[in-house]
A = this chain, B = another copy of it.
Amino acid sequence: MSTNAEILCVGTEILLGNITNTNATYLSQELSALGFNVYHHTVVGDNPARLAEAVEQALSRSDLVITTGGLGPTYDDLTKQTVANALGLEMELHQDILDDLRARWERRGQIMPENNAQQAWFPKGCRIIPNDWGTAPSCAIEKDGRTVVMLPGPPREMKGIWSTYVAPWLAERQDCVFVSRYCRVINIGESALENRLRTLLETSTNPTIAPYAGNGECMLRVTARAATREEAFALTEPVVELIRKECGDDLYTVDKDSMQQVVVELLKELGLTVATCESLTGGLVAGRITDIPGSSDVFECGFVTYSDRIKHSQVGVPEETLRQHTAVSLETAAAMAEGTLARSGASLALSTTGVAGPDDLPHAEVGTVYSAVAGPLGTRAVKLPMIHSRDRAYNRTMAASKALDLLRRYLLEMKQQQG
C-alpha cells in the first residue's frame, strides 16, 4: 500500500529560525523507508487559528498526518486540542496519566504546577503512546480513513517514541515491509562517492540507494521492499556487496550506528583496552568512546593535554620534541601516544594534536591535524586527511572521527594478524 503522508511541525522557534527543523528530515527518511509518499512539510507557530487551518488542510489531502510539537504543559501547547476539534472529537482526562505525572513531580520532592494537568487530556478514542524519554505522552487517532500521530517536539523524545512505538505499528499496517541498510563511509567525499557509484545510483529501483553527507562523513542508505523482512534483506545484499567492493576499508560499517561503536566492539572482540591523549579535540574522542554503553570494559583513561607544559608533565612528551618539532607535528603525536601507553597501563593509546581554528598558528595552518596510535604493532603516526575549513567545531568533530578511524584500522590489522 502506498499512502500519502505529510509532516506538520508546530513551533514558533522554527519560524524564527532559532532551531532547524531536523524532525521533518528524520520523519521524511523514516516514512519513505516505510513506503509512504511524503508530499508536504508544513511549519506553523503556536497560534490557534493558523494551527487549526494547517491541521484541516493536512487532513483534507493526506491519509497520514504526523505532527511534532505543541504537546507540552504550557498555555501555548495546543496540538491535541486543535486536532480533536478538526476531527469533531471531545477531549477526555486519563486519570492514570495524571496520577503518573503527579508521582513524577513528587519523587523529585516538588508539587506539580496545575498547568501540567493538560498533558493528561487526550482526544476521545485515541491510542495513547508512552513517552519513556520525557513527560508528555503522545497519541494517535484513526478516524474516517485518516490517521493522525502526534509526537513531541524535542528530537530525542520524538525519535525514541517513533522508533519504539510508531514505526513498528505503521509497518504492520503496510502490506509490504521495507528493510534499510546503512553503509557508513569515511575519507570519500559525497560527490566522489556518487561518481564512483553513478550507474548503481541511477539504475537501482529495488533496493533504492540514497546518499547522505554530514560532519565529513558519508552514508548510503540501501532500502529494499518485499513481502517479508527476509526477502527484503536478501535484496539489499548484492548492492551492499557492490558498495563494499567499491569503498574497501573506507566503508567502516554496515548497519552499526557510529565509528565509536565499531571501535568499542573491535576492542571488546580483541580483549584490548585503550587510553586517549587529546590536544585539539579536547576530550571529544574520549567523550565519543564513553558514549557507548559498556565502554568501561575497554576504555582505560583519557588525558586532555592542551599546553606544551602539560604534554610534558602528564604524558611525558620530551621537551626536546616539542621544541624541535612544535606541538603540532607527527613527532609530538607519536610521543603523546607512547607516553600515554606507558602511563595508563592500557593495551593501546590514541593521540590527537593540531589546529582547530578559527585562526592559523604561526607555524601551522588551521585544520592541520596529526594523530597516532601506539600499541602491540608499534607506533603509527599520520597527518589526518582533513577537508579545509576555518570552522572550529567542524574541525574538532572531523579530527575526532578520523582519529577513531586510525584506531579502527590499527585494530583491523591486529585482528588479521591474529586470525
Please report A residues at the B interface, Cβ cutoff 8 Å. Answer: 12-22, 24-32, 38-45, 47, 50, 54, 72-75, 104, 107-108, 110, 113, 115-116, 132-133, 154, 156, 160, 190-192, 194-195, 202, 210-214, 221, 276, 278, 281-287, 289-291, 293, 295-296, 299-307, 309-310, 313-314, 343-345, 357-359, 387-394, 396
Most B-side CB within 10 Å, residue of A32, A221, A314, A343: A314
Cβ–Cβ < 8 Å partners of A282 in chain B? 283, 286-287, 289-291, 295, 299, 302
Q: Is the Cβ of B108 less than 8 Å from the Cβ of A388?
A: yes
Q: Is the Cβ of A388 less than 8 Å from the Cβ of B107?
A: yes
Closest 4 CB pairs of A and B: A282-B290, A302-B304, A17-B28, A283-B283
- Besides A132-B390, A283-B284, 13 more A-B contacts (Cβ < 8 Å) are A17-B27, A39-B45, A39-B50, A74-B194, A108-B387, A113-B192, A113-B195, A115-B194, A286-B304, A299-B306, A300-B307, A301-B303, A303-B304
Cβ–Cβ < 8 Å partners of A302 in chain B? 282-283, 302-304
CA of A74 to CA of B191 in the docked complex: distance in angstroms?
Answer: 7
Query: Could you list some 19 contacts between A and B, CB below 8 A?
Result: A16-B28, A16-B221, A17-B29, A20-B22, A21-B21, A39-B45, A40-B50, A73-B194, A74-B191, A75-B202, A104-B388, A108-B387, A282-B283, A282-B302, A283-B287, A293-B358, A299-B304, A299-B306, A304-B304
* Minimum CB distance partner of A25 in chain B: B20
Q: Is the Cβ of A17 less than 8 Å from the Cβ of B21?
A: no
Give, as a whole number of angstroms, the nearest-CB distance from A310 to chain B.
4
Most B-side CB within 10 Å, residue of A17, A75, A343: A17
Cβ–Cβ < 8 Å partners of A113 in chain B? 191-192, 194-195
Cβ–Cβ < 8 Å partners of A74 in chain B? 190-191, 194, 211
* Minimum CB distance partner of A357 in chain B: B293
Contact of A283 (CB < 8 Å), options: B110, B286, B296:
B286
Cβ–Cβ < 8 Å partners of A345 in chain B? 309, 313
Q: Is the Cβ of A30 less than 8 Å from the Cβ of B17?
A: yes
Most B-side CB within 10 Å, residue of A108, A211, A283, A314: A283
* Minimum CB distance partner of A192 in chain B: B113
* Minimum CB distance partner of A359 in chain B: B293
Cβ–Cβ < 8 Å partners of A45 in chain B? 39
Q: Is the Cβ of B28 less than 8 Å from the Cβ of A14?
A: yes
Q: Is the Cβ of A47 less than 8 Å from the Cβ of B41?
A: no
Cβ–Cβ < 8 Å partners of A300 in chain B? 306-307, 310
* Minimum CB distance partner of A298 in chain B: B306
Q: Is the Cβ of A41 less than 8 Å from the Cβ of B38?
A: no
Most B-side CB within 10 Å, residue of A50, A286, A310, A389: A286
Give, as a whole number of angstroms, the nearest-CB distance from A156 to chain B.
6
Q: Is the Cβ of A392 less than 8 Å from the Cβ of B21?
A: no
CA of A108 to CA of B27 in the docked complex: distance in angstroms?
Answer: 41
